[in-house]
Amino acid sequence: MTSRLVRRRFLKTATILSGSAVFGRALLSLAGEEAKVTPELIRQAEWISGLTFSEADRQLMLSDINDTAEGTRKLRELKLDNSVPPAFTLRPIVPPPAPAAAAHSRKKGPAAARPASDDDLAFATAATLSRLIEQKKISSLELTKLYLSRIKRFDPELAAVITVTEDLALKAAEKADAERAKGTIRSPLHGIPWAAKDLIAVPGYKTTWGSVPFKDQVRPEKATVVARLEEAGAVLVAKTAVGELAWGDVWFGGTTKNPWKTDQGSSGSSAGSASGTSAALFGFALGTETWGSIVSPCTRCGVSGLRPTFGRVSRHGVMALSWTMDKLGPIARSVEDLALVFGAIQGADPADPWSQAAPFGFRGPASLKGMRIGFVPEYFEADRSKDAKTPEEKQSALDWMKNDRRVLEVLKSLGAELVPVTMPSKLPVSALAQILTAEAATCFDDLTRSGRLGEMVRQTEDAWPNVFRQGQLVPAVSYLRAMRVRTLLMQEMEKSLGDLRTYVVPSYGGDHLLMTNLTGHPAVVVPNGFRSGNGTPTSITFMGRLWADDEVLSVAAAYQAATDFHLKRPPLKG
């Protein structure tokens, strides 16, 4: 049998079983054949399961498989909006403590002087801006106009913003000032301008998901996080660029840039939220993470980010990519800002069956004297420079390794007791990536079948169109087996941590980023230095136990209080 014939029969078999309209029906139509399963097609498809059936087995299956195929075709005739979830939920292995405590409120600080320049004001933390508004050193309207002007000035180069919500922002700022004048203070965020990753629905404005097929989409629902920040009095000034359908930093408007090095992308997929926060286009932003989409752009752009415990923030009104992995979290210029925003958006939501309430009581930087903080020696000791292809890459890796190890010295100097931690190593973590492949392909099943994947900007091996097609061929049995192994991973993770509440890891150490996105543990990523070659930032990640978001924020805040990397500014031009 020729290799061309083998490939043709494989494609015919796989596409019949997947029901793919894009290439399966077209292939069968060209061949003049009916999409009917035969014993021979079953035999050719057996490799997917890793099993071999007898001819008698195949005959027994035949009728039911064809019935199943017909049923699947009927299911696919129904149009399913991305907002429709599957009829199951995932819970972290440890339930949240109860009852839920009050959210964090910023304590009143000493009198704050208004910064000398508009640049200094724009780069102030949200906590500082809150004090300035509270002490009448600036109005929300002034601040909002400042950030709107910076978007117009700097975004043409950065491509961090998809939609400017100017009218909405100016009205909200005027309302915030009027309320404060009457003595009504909604929260520490009252009057602070912010931006939403353009996966987050805001009625009356486009929610493009960064993707060509959806670039004119206007969603009818209001995301719960938007409603909660409105209730807190925050002022939405922009919807930020997102790597197309939440991958990378490339969207239909171009590539979002890193403000520290504008010939480099910002990374993603919370590309615009991190880039715009770094460039002080707004006071803070919201991002999402499924597998690195907060950690990665925060690292590249030198800002702080919180990936909360899975389920702590409602995803209602936010594009679904993976129901069991997606998380929303804040991106800001300081850890205290992360806590302020998280306090406003966290909590259970009836509109999101995956969300849960848990205590949150952030009280500022923790005293690390005598605190036991874990670290993963193998990640800190690994020579990440050995795979470098150029002298520049080698120096970059060496700089980052030095910066990571210096974090441990800072923690020791603050009185922490560093405790070695061994991560789960016997389970095939990388193999569990098929969970994301299968769920993402399901979220965008209708897009794949519409034939419009070819409209997407990136058409490479390492892009969604290719992954969505692959996901059509992941068997349900394999997906569910991976979910069962995921349960073991969650259990092993709890054993690995023992009685530790927090630990620290290099942001890209081993399989840790995928592992903890699967287990649902909270992460706080903060800048920890710069590369000597090009001056771009590096980062470190502080991890917490499930539901211990406030504790890991407090530890990260203590590290940040002892360093000044988060106060550095990118060399903007505009």
pTM: 0.92
Q: Which two tokens stand for residue 157?
A: 């180069």
How far is the first Cα of the chain from the last one, in angstroms, to the nearest whole number? 63
Q: What is the pLDDT of residue 324?
A: 98
* Calpha distance 189→233 (Å, rounded): 6
Q: CB within 8 A of 154, min separation 6: which ones?
A: 259, 279, 281, 572, 574
Q: What is the pLDDT of residue 78?
A: 87
pLDDT < 70 positions in the chain: 1-35, 99-109
Q: Give the active site residues.
A: 197, 269, 293
Q: Which domains does the chain have, with CATH numbers?
A: 1-78 (no CATH), 118-424+484-567 (3.90.1300.10)
Please choose, from the candidates 175, 224, 185, the residue with its C-alpha nearest in 3D space to the C-alpha of residue 106.
Answer: 185
Q: What is the pLDDT of residue 198?
A: 98
Q: Which two tokens stand for residue 519?
A: 């287990």
Please choose, from the candidates 226, 218, 220, 167, the residue with its C-alpha nearest in 3D space to the C-alpha of residue 195.
Answer: 226
Q: What is the pLDDT of residue 31?
A: 37
Q: What is the sign of the dihedral through the CA atoms of 133, 134, 136 and 139?
A: positive
Q: Which amino acid is at 454?
A: G
H or E segment at 325? none
Q: Which two tokens stand for residue 509?
A: 């150490």
H or E segment at 417? strand 417-420
Pairing label, strands 193-197, 235-240: parallel
Q: CB within 8 A of 68, min separation 6: which ones?
A: none
* Calpha distance 102→325 (Å, rounded): 26
Q: What is the pLDDT of residue 36?
A: 86
* Calpha distance 186→206 (Å, rounded): 28
Q: What is the pLDDT of residue 50?
A: 86
